Chain A
Amino acid sequence: MPSPKPAAKQSSAFRAPTFELVHHRLANGLRVVLAPDPSAPVVGISVLYDVGFRSEPEGRTGFAHLFEHLMFQGSANLEKLEHFRYVQASGGLFNGSTHLDYTNYFEALPSNAFERGLFLEADRMRSPRITEENMANQISVVKEEIRVNVLNRPYGGFPWLVLPPVLFDTFPNAHNGYGGFEDLQNATVPDAAAFFDSYYAPANAVLCVAGDFRAEQGIELIEQHFGGIRRRKKPVRPDFAEPELSQQRREVVTDALAPMPALAIGYRVPDPGADLHTYLATLLLAEILSDGDASRLQRSLVQAQRLVIDVGAYLGTFGDPLEERDPSRLNITAHYSDQASTDRVIAAIDAELDRVATLGTEPGELDRVRTKLAATVFRELDQVLNRSLEFAKFELLFGNAALILELPGLLAEVTDADVRAAAARLTPAGRAIVELIPGASR
């Protein structure tokens, strides 16, 4: 991996923020990252488990997400509803979310609730209280979540639910991570117990605390609350790799609620774990293509040709470019008014990719996009909760919490030739296209 040395041009524009990071590992295998910072009297606590919807079993689509809901339903020492009440009565916020490769649980709290927050996370890592009744209740809640976000709205789940089954062939990569209603309905308490036992082992998790506490005090309290949790074997993560596509795939979905067509193109991308440099070149390419009014696709498809209402290019399932292991993807999406122009939209995207591949970047373009990405990272790190989530995520996926601080330097090492090569890799043969046909009247 290249060394994190920022380019001279950048270091003159800004200094990167520094955060003290302390690493610790408990006897039960729990990895801990501490990022003490007394600048505001708040703390962020994040626990990330190394399991996402990519790992859920066949016949149990949506289980990783349902399980995330169940983790809030009470635990060894807490009745149902108590977790929420303890956080909120401390003046704090909580949530959790399920991703392709991990699931997170987190709180932002006034610093005087630091120990309480640790206890709440430790208690459900010890033993969530999963009952028939809670399961039935949360299956209902998850079904309403899917209805409000997917079934009852136009473009619901587009493209994150419709693109993977075309771009990928194996169940882990291709299936619907929100889950089918039948699979959700079939989920049982023993399923949950087994899922917890294998994937929620302390050795399969990272805890990160950030904010207003002292490192020694943090380690002491973490040992006290998490140290007694039973050690279990870290599950072996299977290899989810799939062979490259050999020819373009194209499918059509009908959205009965949508008033206009839309398009999603998915490309396979390099493995960020194995070759981060090449992956970051693809990230810079995505920004060059669609970030802001000066980006290539905005200029060409929106402003000059007026072919589309909007267009975007992003890495990963939900737009965070560094939250997935291999295989991940680059998405290009567009909404437009005329179904007949679909192929023109695709051709216009291809023309822009080709332009980058053959002519490279414009003077200043690469620096500008790098600076914007660095600025985005800094803004993200300003919030103590985001800081704990980001450090935990980089520790879990890349074994290096500090990687996020090294990103500006790593991005500075990506060259014009790297970005051209990244564009050249996005060939029609290696992609999947999903065309959304509107079923609603305008």
Chain B
Amino acid sequence: MSPQAAATRHRVAKQLPVPGLTKPARPKRITTAERVLDSGLRVVAVRRPTVPMVEVRLRVPFLSGKAHHLTRSTLLSDTVLTGTERYDRNGLAIALGELGGDISVGLDADRLLLSASAISARLPALLAIMADVLTSASYPGGEVAGERERLVERITLAHSQPSVIANEALGRRMAPNHPYGTSLPDISDVEDTTAVQLRALHSNLVRPRGALLVIVGDIVPARVLDTVAKALSGWTGNQVHIKALSAPVPSRGPLVLLDRPGSVQTSLRFGGAALRREDPGYPALQLANLAFGGMFSSRWVENIREDKGYTYSPRSSLDHATLGSTFSASADVATEVTAPALVETLYELGRISSLPITEAELELVRQYAIGTMSLSISTQAGLASTLSGLLGGGLSVEWLAEHRERLGAVTIADVAEASAKFLAPSKIVAVAVGDAAQVAGPLSGILDVEVTSGTA
């Protein structure tokens, strides 16, 4: 067909209907094999043979309010893979590479997380390497010194990022003087940290009792439990007693504006309390958050992005930590529209907490919550991480299937009640990072504002 001929056929098509959904597939049951080893390590294995790989997540509780804990645990996570009895740093990396494998170390206030993967046939070798790290990580002096130097530089780099400055500022408001309030150690504290202290921390906390190992992949779960028991038989002992912490108490008060002269955007951050996942009111709050700003087709995103063009990626979320759950919302907006963006944010928070959402909105957020839960567990890595988070947070595998039912039962009135309780503007703390010379005045017209130097 010639392009000319095609052009003459160009016309507005008649209105076509959007196809409906067909019958949903029944969600597949997740079958786990589980064992608590003599050491106290809980092991959960799931067969998922989609690709010839295996995903491993080892979660070790790490919450502590002790002085220097953040610094030492951060440096521990940077150096735990730099030497063991059997391997030096290169030897360890080479041994992992040969398995098509990798281990990465993640840290937050609640836990140390070793995330590993490998060609599934090489799982025993991967576990042997992990056992070596767990039982004999040596924290070589030279490696610790090098990583200490790098950590100082990385903290300096982090402090130059507006998103980090803003998140740390919100942390100080949501969890003042609490491990949940910050994820960046003090540089001077880093400089004073020694290899001896890291070895002591490892010996005190990197212990199997209370830890959780999740393995998902192209495996035979029952056999894997035996493999783990054998490979990790040398990893024993209990964590030293850590004084229990209470949940952080947010500091209420004016909007805190951190001055960042010349900033072309203002980073707005909002925080509030939320319900834990086991709370009967949680499914309604989950849907309330989605309707407010937790997905693209939410009120806040449609308002300040798709209608007003104030920002690129506004988003709200619920986060679950050991001591409690929180609501947070973030948007980076053009400096000149900082005040109007705050007005729209308060408007949407006020609207959802004082007026019911519509039936169409409820169905939208419900289907989104159910559908994305299925998507998140449709890969080996996704399922492994989800299970580690769920079980590590004290929930069961069944929680997933039951949660679908709970989401299905939420009503408009439930969402209204949750919104009024948690999303009302009066319940929210706010911080902003931006050019105070330009935004302090306009912001002060809307909320009480306290301006502080941005170098805090």
Residues of A with Cβ closer than 8 Å to B? 13-17, 39-42, 76-78, 80-82, 84-86, 88-94, 108-116, 118-120, 123, 126-127, 136-145, 147-148, 151-154, 212, 228, 230-233, 256-260, 292-295, 299, 302-303, 306, 309-310, 335, 337, 364, 367-369, 371-372, 374-375, 378-379, 381-384, 440, 442
User: Is B243 located at the chain interface by the 8 A CB criterion?
Assistant: no
Contact check, B93 vs A152: say whether CB atoms are below 8 A apart: no
Chain B residues positioned under 8 Å from A17 (CB to CB): 50-52
> Which one of B10, B297, B313 lies within 8 Å of A81 (CB-CB)?
B297
0 or 1 for each of B427-440: is its CB under 8 Å from A? (1 = yes): 00000000000000
User: Is B81 located at the chain interface by the 8 A CB criterion?
Assistant: yes
Of the listed residues B81, B97, B163, B382, the one surrounded by the most CB atoms of chain A closer than 10 A to its CB is B97
Given contacts A14-B121, A335-B157, contact A90 B13 (CB under 8 A): no
Bound Cα distance from A429 to B161, whole angstroms:
35
Contact check, B25 vs A110: say whether CB atoms are below 8 A apart: yes
Shortest Cβ-Cβ A-B pairs, 3 listed: A91-B371, A140-B309, A375-B100
Contact check, B50 vs A292: say whether CB atoms are below 8 A apart: no
Given contacts A13-B121, A116-B20, contact A91 B162 (CB under 8 A): no
Cross-chain pairs A/B with CB under 8 angstroms, 10 sampled: A14-B100, A40-B50, A76-B16, A110-B374, A111-B25, A148-B313, A151-B265, A153-B161, A259-B160, A384-B378
Contact check, B160 vs A257: say whether CB atoms are below 8 A apart: yes
Contact check, A260 vs B302: say whether CB atoms are below 8 A apart: no
Bound Cα distance from A335 to B154, whole angstroms:
10
Contact check, B370 vs A91: say whether CB atoms are below 8 A apart: yes
Contact check, B309 vs A141: say whether CB atoms are below 8 A apart: yes
Q: Quick one: closest A residue to B119, CB to CB?
A: A14
> Which one of B6, B162, B381 lies within 8 Å of A153 (CB-CB)?
B162
> Which one of B13, B24, B334, B381 lies within 8 Å of A382 (CB-CB)?
B381
Q: Quick one: closest B residue to A229, CB to CB?
A: B13
Contact check, B97 vs A371: say whether CB atoms are below 8 A apart: yes
* A149 CB to nearest chain B CB (Å): 8
Contact check, B157 vs A78: say whether CB atoms are below 8 A apart: no
Q: Quick one: closest A residue to B146, CB to CB?
A: A306
Contact check, A154 vs B94: say whether CB atoms are below 8 A apart: no
Chain B residues positioned under 8 Å from A231 (CB to CB): 1, 6
Bound Cα distance from A258 to B160, whole angstroms:
7
Bound Cα distance from A13 to B122, whole angstroms:
8
Bound Cα distance from A296 to B379, whole angstroms:
32
Bound Cα distance from A90 to B52, whole angstroms:
30
Contact check, B90 vs A294: say whether CB atoms are below 8 A apart: yes
Contact check, A138 vs B309: say whether CB atoms are below 8 A apart: yes
The total of interchain contacts (Cβ-Cβ below 8 angstroms) comes to 252
Contact check, B309 vs A86: say whether CB atoms are below 8 A apart: no
> Which one of A113, A119, A382 lies within 8 Å of B380 (CB-CB)?
A382
Q: Quick one: closest B residue to A109, CB to CB?
A: B371
Binds A, one of B226-234, B277-285, B361-369, B408-416: B361-369
Q: Give the contacts of B139-166 with A (CB-CB under 8 A).
A: 143, 146, 149-150, 153-154, 156-157, 159-163
Residues of B with Cβ closer than 8 Å to A? 1, 3, 6, 9-10, 12-13, 15-28, 50-53, 81-82, 89-90, 92-94, 96-102, 117-122, 143, 146, 149-150, 153-154, 156-157, 159-163, 262-265, 295-297, 302, 305-313, 332-334, 363-364, 367-368, 370-372, 374-375, 378-382
Contact check, B306 vs A80: say whether CB atoms are below 8 A apart: yes
Q: Quick one: closest B residue to A143, CB to CB?
A: B334
Given contacts A13-B119, A228-B13, contact A364 B98 (CB under 8 A): yes
Chain B residues positioned under 8 Å from A126 (CB to CB): 13
* B157 CB to nearest chain A CB (Å): 7
Secondary structure at chain B's binding surface: helix, strand, loop or mixed?
A: mixed
Given contacts A77-B18, A112-B21, A381-B51, contact A372 B97 (CB under 8 A): yes
Bound Cα distance from A15 to B10, whole angstroms:
50
* A8 CB to nearest chain B CB (Å): 15
Contact check, B265 vs A144: say whether CB atoms are below 8 A apart: yes
Contact check, A137 vs B307: say whether CB atoms are below 8 A apart: yes
Bound Cα distance from A256 to B160, whole angstroms:
11
> Which one of B23, B90, B153, B381 lies within 8 Å of A260 (CB-CB)?
B153
A-B contacts besides A41-B374, A111-B25, A303-B146, 7 pairs, CB < 8 Å: A14-B100, A85-B364, A110-B24, A138-B309, A141-B305, A143-B334, A145-B312
Chain A residues positioned under 8 Å from B153 (CB to CB): 260, 309, 335, 337
* A93 CB to nearest chain B CB (Å): 6
Bound Cα distance from A337 to B155, whole angstroms:
12
Contact check, B97 vs A369: say whether CB atoms are below 8 A apart: yes
* A83 CB to nearest chain B CB (Å): 9
Contact check, A88 vs B368: say whether CB atoms are below 8 A apart: yes
Contact check, B374 vs A292: say whether CB atoms are below 8 A apart: no
* B236 CB to nearest chain A CB (Å): 28
Chain A residues positioned under 8 Å from B122 (CB to CB): 13
* B152 CB to nearest chain A CB (Å): 9
Contact check, A92 vs B371: say whether CB atoms are below 8 A apart: yes
Contact check, B22 vs A127: say whether CB atoms are below 8 A apart: no
* B105 CB to nearest chain A CB (Å): 12
Chain B residues positioned under 8 Å from A310 (CB to CB): 150
Given contacts A39-B50, A41-B25, A144-B311, contact A293 B16 (CB under 8 A): no
> Which one of B156, B309, B311 lies within 8 Å of A259 (CB-CB)?
B156
Q: Quick one: closest B residue to A108, CB to CB?
A: B375
Chain A residues positioned under 8 Å from B22 (CB to CB): 112, 114-115
Chain A residues positioned under 8 Å from B311 (CB to CB): 141, 144
Bound Cα distance from A292 to B371, whole angstroms:
36
Q: Quick one: closest B residue to A442, CB to CB?
A: B156
Bound Cα distance from A98 to B16, whole angstroms:
29
Contact check, A154 vs B157: say whether CB atoms are below 8 A apart: yes
Given contacts A76-B16, A144-B334, A379-B117, contact A41 B367 (CB under 8 A): no
Bound Cα distance from A151 to B154, whole angstroms:
21
Chain B residues positioned under 8 Å from A92 (CB to CB): 371-372, 375
Of the listed residues B9, B297, B333, the one surrounded by the most CB atoms of chain A closer than 10 A to its CB is B297
> Which one of A142, A212, A309 lies within 8 Å of B157 (CB-CB)?
A309
Given contacts A119-B19, A152-B264, contact A382 B119 (CB under 8 A): no
Q: Quick one: closest B residue to A299, CB to CB?
A: B90
* B304 CB to nearest chain A CB (Å): 10
Given contacts A42-B375, A91-B368, contact A309 B119 (CB under 8 A): no
* B331 CB to nearest chain A CB (Å): 9
* A348 CB to nearest chain B CB (Å): 15
Bound Cα distance from A42 to B382, whole angstroms:
14
Bound Cα distance from A154 to B118, whole angstroms:
35
Contact check, B100 vs A88: say whether CB atoms are below 8 A apart: no
Chain B residues positioned under 8 Å from A138 (CB to CB): 309
Of the listed residues A212, A228, A257, A299, the one surrounded by the most CB atoms of chain B closer than 10 A to its CB is A257
Chain A residues positioned under 8 Å from B146 (CB to CB): 302-303, 306
Contact check, B89 vs A303: say whether CB atoms are below 8 A apart: yes
Bound Cα distance from A230 to B26, whole angstroms:
38
Chain A residues positioned under 8 Å from B16 (CB to CB): 76-77, 119, 123
Given contacts A140-B309, A293-B93, A378-B53, contact A116 B19 (CB under 8 A): yes
Contact check, B334 vs A147: say whether CB atoms are below 8 A apart: yes
Contact check, A86 vs B21: say whether CB atoms are below 8 A apart: no
Given contacts A147-B265, A147-B334, contact A154 B89 (CB under 8 A): no
Q: Quick one: closest B residue to A42, CB to CB?
A: B378
Contact check, B306 vs A309: say whether CB atoms are below 8 A apart: no
Bound Cα distance from A431 to B350, whole angstroms:
56
Q: Quick one: closest A residue to B90, CB to CB?
A: A294
Chain B residues positioned under 8 Å from A15 (CB to CB): 52
Q: Quick one: closest B residue to A337, CB to CB?
A: B153
* A129 CB to nearest chain B CB (Å): 11
Chain B residues positioned under 8 Å from A367 (CB to CB): 98
